[in-house]
Amino acid sequence: MRSLRFGLPLVSLFTGVALLFTAPAAHAADTPLRDLAAAKGKVIGTAVTGSKLTGTYGDLAGSQFSSLTPGNAMKWGTVEPTQGTFNWTEADQIVAFAQAHGQQVRGHTLVWHSQNPGWLTNGTWTSAQLSSLLQNHISTEVGRYKGKIAAWDVVNEPFNEDGSYRSTLWYNGLGSDYIANALTWAHAADPDAKLYINDYNVEGVNAKSTALYNLVKSLKAAGVPIDGVGLQAHLVLGQVPATLQQNIQRFADLGVDVAITELDVRMALPADSTKLAQQKADFKSVVAACVAVSRCVNVTVWGFTDSDSWVDSTFPGYGAATPYDANYAPKPAYYGISEALGGTTTTPPPTGACTAAYSVSSQWNTGFTGQVTISCSGASLSSWKATWTYGAGQQITQAWNAVCTQSGAAVSCTNASYNGTVADGSSVSFGFNAAWSGSNPVPAVTLSPA
C-alpha cells in the first residue's frame, strides 16, 4: 500500500481506547513475586481465565503467582448452565494448572446474586426448595474439589453500602441465615478448606466493613465455620483507604484471616507516567498493609495483565488497572508489589508509557477516514507497530504516514521510514481510509516496537 501525506480538518467522530505500551524490563531477572511473598509468609495470587493459560500468559501466571482464582469458571452460572447438567471444564483446567505449578486455588464463588444460571434466577421457588438447591450446589461443587481448594469465597457481596443486607435471591428467600447455612454446608463438604465471606468497598473502616465485622463476630460466637474475610479491593487511582491496615487488623483481632482477593487500581485512560507512578504507590501500599498484619495471608490481583481485566468493559474510559500491560511488560505497579514484598529490582522500573489512540475523523455511507496517534510520555520509541482487529468487516483501502496491511480482520501498521522515532513528550500520527457497512465499532489498538 502506498504511503502519502494527507490532511483533513479533523473533527473526531469516534475515539478509541488508547492501549498502553511500557518499555519492557528484564523482569525475568527479578525474583518472582511468589518467592518474595513466600519469604514474607504470604501467598500472592491472580484471577485467571482458563483458556488463556498458555504462552506468555501461562508462563507468567505459573511463575509469578502462588495462588490462582478462577475469574468466572467456578461460578454457578458457569458450572451448571442447565439444571443437573454440569460443565467443569474450565474449573478443572485451572485446578490442574495450579497443581502442576505448585499453586493454591481460591474457589470463587458459591453464593452470589450475580452470574447465576437462568433456570435458577427465573424459577419460582419455595424457601425449602431454594435452601435445598443451595445446599446441593455447595455440596456438589465443594465436594468435587475436596482437598484441592485452599480457600473458598463461600458468600460473595452480601451487603449494601450502608451495611444493610443486599436484597438478593438468597436474602429475600432465606433471610440472613443463608450465610451461616452456606458456611456450614461448605465445611461439611471439605473440612480443610478455609471459608471466607468476600465483599467490595470493605477495605477501609466504614459502615459496610463494620457490618461485615459484626456479622463475622456473631458467626464466630455462634460456632459457625468462618475462617476469613476477603477484601476485594477494586480501587480507583490514588484512593487507597487510609484505614486499610487498621481495618485488616480489626478482623485479624476477631480471630479470622484476611485476604485481599481482587486487587486492581483503575485509572482514566490514557495512562501516563504520573498515573503509573501513583498506581505503583497504590499497589505498594495495599500489599504493604497486608504484609504488616500476620493474619493477612493472601493478596490476589483481579487479572495480572491489562489484556485480561474486567475494568475496561465495565468502566468505559478507565483501564490499565493491573500490574502488567497488555503486552505482558511489567508496569511500575508490578514493582510496587515487588518492593512491598521486600524485593529489590535488578532493572529500573519503566517510568513512562507510549499509547496509541484510534479515532474516526470523518465517516460517510460507505467509507471513513481514521487516524491513530502514538504519544509517548516518560518513554520513547525508535520504531512502532500498531495492530488491531476489526469487529464489523471494515476494510482499509489506503494509508498514509504508515505501512498498513490487512489480512482478514487483522490490521498491522508499521512506521514509515521517516516517523519511527517518537521522542519522550512527542507524538506521531498516521491515517487511513477504509470501507464499512452496517456498523463501524472502534477497535482496541495494541502498540509495540516494530
Cβ proximity to ligand G3I: between 6 and 88 the closer is 88
Cβ proximity to ligand G3I: between 255 and 441 the closer is 441
As a whole number of angstroms, the distance between CA 22 and CA 378 comes to 9
Residue 162 DSSP code: T
- Cα dihedral 196, 315, 172, 206 sign: positive
As a whole number of angstroms, the distance between CA 187 and CA 125 comes to 25
Q: Using the rule CB under 6 A, is 115 a contact of ligand G3I?
A: yes
What is the nearest approach in angstroms of ligand G3I to the Cβ of residue 354?
A: 27
Please choose, from the candidates 374, 365, 366, the residue with its C-alpha nearest in 3D space to the C-alpha of residue 401: 374
Cell representation of residue 328: 505482558
**391 contacts 413 by C-beta, under 8 angstroms:** no
Task: Name which position in 3, 31, 72, 361 contacts ligand G3I (CB under 6 A).
Answer: 72
- Give first-to-last CA distance, the chain, whole Å: 18
Cβ proximity to ligand G3I: between 49 and 398 the closer is 49
Angle of CA points 312, 316, 322, to nearest 5°: 30
What is the nearest approach in angstroms of ligand G3I to the Cβ of residue 324?
A: 16
The DSSP bridge partners found for residue 20 are 355
As a whole number of angstroms, the distance between CA 62 and CA 34 comes to 9
- How many residues touch ligand G3I under the rule CB under 6 A: the total is 9
Cβ proximity to ligand G3I: between 302 and 384 the closer is 302
Task: Name which position in 232, 245, 273, 278 contacts ligand G3I (CB under 6 A).
Answer: 232
What is the nearest approach in angstroms of ligand G3I to the Cβ of residue 31?
A: 28
For the chain, the maximum distance between any two Cα atoms, rounded to a whole number of angstroms, is: 76
Residues 6 or more apart whose CB falls under 8 angstroms from that of 220 comprise 226, 254, 255, 256
Set 90, 157, 203, 262: catalytic member: 262
Phi and psi dihedrals of 152, rounded to 5? -115, 130
What is the nearest approach in angstroms of ligand G3I to the Cβ of residue 157?
A: 7
Instruction: Specify whether 161 is catalytic.
Output: no
Q: Which helix (H) or strand (E) holds 364?
A: none
Task: Name which position in 16, 50, 71, 431 contacts ligand G3I (CB under 6 A).
Answer: 71
Task: Name which position in 310, 315, 318, 328 contacts ligand G3I (CB under 6 A).
Answer: 310
Instruction: Tell me the CA distances in angstroms from 67 to 51, 305, 425, one per residue in order.
Output: 17, 16, 39
Q: Using the rule CB under 6 A, is 427 a contact of ligand G3I?
A: no
What is the nearest approach in angstroms of ligand G3I to the Cβ of residue 153?
A: 8
Task: Name which position in 114, 136, 382, 426 contacts ligand G3I (CB under 6 A).
Answer: 114
Cβ proximity to ligand G3I: between 71 and 332 the closer is 71
Task: Name which position in 30, 141, 190, 262 contacts ligand G3I (CB under 6 A).
Answer: 262
Cβ proximity to ligand G3I: between 156 and 327 the closer is 156
Residue nearest to ligand G3I (CB): 310
Q: Using the rule CB under 6 A, is 203 a contact of ligand G3I?
A: no
The DSSP bridge partners found for residue 15 are 359
What is the nearest approach in angstroms of ligand G3I to the Cβ of residue 218?
A: 24
- Give the residue numbers annotated as catalytic, written as ranges: 262
Interface ranges with ligand G3I (CB under 6 A): 71-72, 114-115, 156, 200, 232, 262, 310
